[in-house]
Amino acid sequence: MASPGAARAQSAGAPAPEAGRDLGNDEIVVTAQKREERLIDVPSAVTAIGGGVLTERNLTRIEEIAAHTPGLSVSQTGVGVQLTLRGLNASGQGATTAVLVDDVPLTSASSYQQTTTPNFDTYDLQRIEVLRGPQGTLYGASALGGLVKYVTKAPNLTRVEGRGQVEVDAVRGGQIGAAVRGVVNIPITEDTVAIRVSGLFERLPGYIDNNLRGDRNANGGERYGIRGSLLWQASPDFSVRLAAIWQRDDLDATPTVELVGAMLTPTHPPADATAIAHGGDLQRNSRIAEPVKRDAQIYSATLNYNAGPVAITSVTSLARTRVNMVLDVSYESAAPGVTFGDFVGPLYGQPISIRSGNLASVRRFNQEIRIASVPGNGPFDYLVGLFYADEKSRVTQVFDILSVAQPAQVLTAPFPGGALDIPASYEELAGFGQLTWHVAPNVEATAGARYSRNWQQSQATKLFGFATQLTGDVTDPLSKVSDGKATWSGAISWHPVERVNLYARVATGYRPGGPNAIPSVASPGYLTRYKPDTTVNYELGAKGELFDRRLAFDVSLFTIDWSDIQIPTISINPDTGVPQNFTANGGKARSRGAEYALRLSATSQLSLSVSGSLVDADLRADAPTIGGVRGDQLPYVPRFSNTVSVDYRAPVGDDAKIFAGIDWAYVGARYSNFAATPVHTIHQRLPDYHSVNLRGGVDFGRFQLDAFVTNVGDSRGLYSYLSGAGANATGTGVIQQPRTFGLRFGAEF
């Protein structure tokens, strides 16, 4: 895992190996460059974690996977998880890390959408690939920091397979959770047609109380989903694979807890601002229920045709994501020390609560066609392709003013809460190509380029009410923009010996520009559009295996220049005093550092893995609109993070093996977001934290029984921080799940 030869993966043309059997030394094959090749041959920094490792180490969510991936950091809000690769995060709305399932891009290109990603369950995955550094040439928009790719298992054409898993876990101070997972593979016509279907149901344990409503463990919920795939091998040269994924998360409340914060004095936060309030009790108090529903659907058809010296691939896909959540925004700051509930209540002549209903949806159609040479037919390998995307998105917010007196009533006098609706569209057409020259048997040079053109439009409708500060309904003029962007990359790699690769790489990435809403009356300095921001990455790396593959290593040094950063901005209308939010370009940043992943097979039974990164990511110019100054560390990026894992496996008898493992993860100090408003603390330092996980069990071949403990020390590491928004003038944030004990039983046939 996280280095060549340390995780299982499927070799080209071979059936997928069984997941969860061991952490062995099979060859890793990845699709980082949109063709199957050995991980050791890819001239860039790629982490690959096989399905067996994901299962055995109980890595079911992306925040757990991040601990084993150099250069990948996470922050988490009530909406979901935001991913950052190589430090490229500056508090903006649009994503800097792309997310794909197989060849299906999920990341929205619209800046109106949140940067969070669907947190897919990892059961029965082939592997997860993390490509670190800009990937603009082959993957296009929003991969300016890198990308995360979930690779699903293709159906097995030759045999019936089935596997199931039952899990029970208990959270310290919280509820008992449970999960049932299963997969079945059935050849319908041997060697020709097969289907593979997996399913999931998980009861998510709650551990945060809402005392205002009398709710214990209020943040519990359910997760369920299904993944299906049909493979038709029509001939040795032609195949069709149809796939569908659906996953839904239903949470009774957000996983936010109240922190000491600095609502009363945001510019001078107390020394313990990031500490948990209420003496360490995990609480999120609200008079309003705050459910969160997340839904993701993916449908795809992949056609592969080997036409002699070239292979032709067509990928057609439709992806839908939807987040529907309710928030109590009564405790949001209207001014330092003054909440919106305090400010609005006198207008209605009674204490009030403010309910915000938020819906964000994205529907994205993608079509990609690629032609690639078959390796081994000459000194050059090439890949060319066309890509088209058509995205429709919508953000809707509806505000209600509720009476505190029960039963709660929606108050409309002297005015209602108001609403905001922003539909947007994004259309993209791109062409790309990559050429590899085999200069010598052990030297390769690769160059690639891409040109993308996009067309975007949006239009905001605001309904009369307190939140919009309007006296009537208003529909803003239609905002339209178009941008073109070229990206490129180049690399050279040298194999001094068979299983060692030394490489140098330079690559660029970009995030699309876009339209801002066009208000009927714009404040001074308001911009109706913003430009793309871009990155240039310079990288030196070494990866390989030594001493009969007992020592594996993957080390890279990089520096990234980030220009025209998209940042949130506020301008004030001098006539009305109403703030207007928009996105602008400003400032520069630089991220540089080192990433490493090492694995030592000390014996046939004992292995040690170490992975981590040292990253210096900071602003290189002042960004006054978000309170940033030159030298400020970029948000939620630790300067140092490190994970150490020890795994032990030994036979006991003829058919059984025992296994045990321990992980220790360290995340260094980070800083919270910059902010375009002074009502919140800007760039608060978050303390470092440690986390230890234990696991062990018995593998009987067809049956497995294991136990695990996550967060053994009950660490309270912060995933995010906001200095206000909590009841009783507290701050808010998301912390690690408390210590959790679990038992798991698996069976296969």
Residue 71 inside a domain? The answer is: yes
Residue 349 inside a domain? The answer is: yes
Give the pLDDT score at 546: 94
Q: What is the DSSP string of 313-374?
A: EEEEEEEEEEEEEEEE-TTSEEETTEEHHHHHHHHHTS-EEEEEEEEEEEEEEEEEEEEEEP
- Residues contacting 479, CB < 8 A, separation 6+: 457, 458, 459, 515, 516, 517, 518, 528, 529
One-letter amino acid at 178 equals A
Residue 19 inside a domain? The answer is: no
* Structural tokens at position 671: 């800083």
- Residues contacting 28, CB < 8 A, separation 6+: 4, 5, 6, 7, 8, 9, 38, 39, 40, 48, 50, 127
Confirm if 562 and 588 have CB atoms less than 8 A apart: yes
Residue 444 inside a domain? The answer is: yes
Residue 16 inside a domain? The answer is: no
C-alpha 450/C-alpha 389 separation (Å) is: 15
Q: Which CATH number does the domain housing residue 55 bear?
A: 2.40.170.20
Instruction: Please give the distance of CA 210 from its chain centroid, rounded to a whole number.
Output: 28
C-alpha 524/C-alpha 532 separation (Å) is: 22
Residue 142 inside a domain? The answer is: yes
Q: What are phi and psi of 40, to 5 degrees?
A: -65, -20
* Structural tokens at position 722: 């906001």
Domain that holds residue 127: 29-377+389-453+460-468+481-748
Q: What are phi and psi of 391, to 5 degrees?
A: -115, 135
Q: What is the mean pLDDT of each run of 10 residues along the chain (749 residues)?
A: 35 31 58 90 94 88 90 83 89 83 88 72 94 93 91 95 96 97 96 97 97 95 96 96 96 95 93 96 95 95 94 96 94 90 91 94 96 89 96 95 91 92 95 96 96 94 88 90 95 95 96 87 84 95 94 96 90 72 88 96 94 95 87 94 96 90 96 86 94 95 94 95 94 96 95
Give the pLDDT score at 576: 66
> What pTM was estimated for this model as a whole?
0.92
Query: CA nearest 442: which of 501, 490, 374, 504?
Result: 501
107-135 CB burial, b ≥16 within 10 A, e <16: bbbbbbbbbbbbbbbbbbbbbbbbbbbbb
Number of domains in the chain: 1
Give the pLDDT score at 39: 92
Query: Please, how many CA atoms are within 13 Å of residue 182, restricted to the half-sphere of its CB?
Result: 8
C-alpha 421/C-alpha 518 separation (Å) is: 14
One-letter amino acid at 255 equals P
One-letter amino acid at 247 equals Q
Residue 384 inside a domain? The answer is: no
Residue 217 inside a domain? The answer is: yes
Confirm if 715 and 146 have CB atoms less than 8 A apart: no
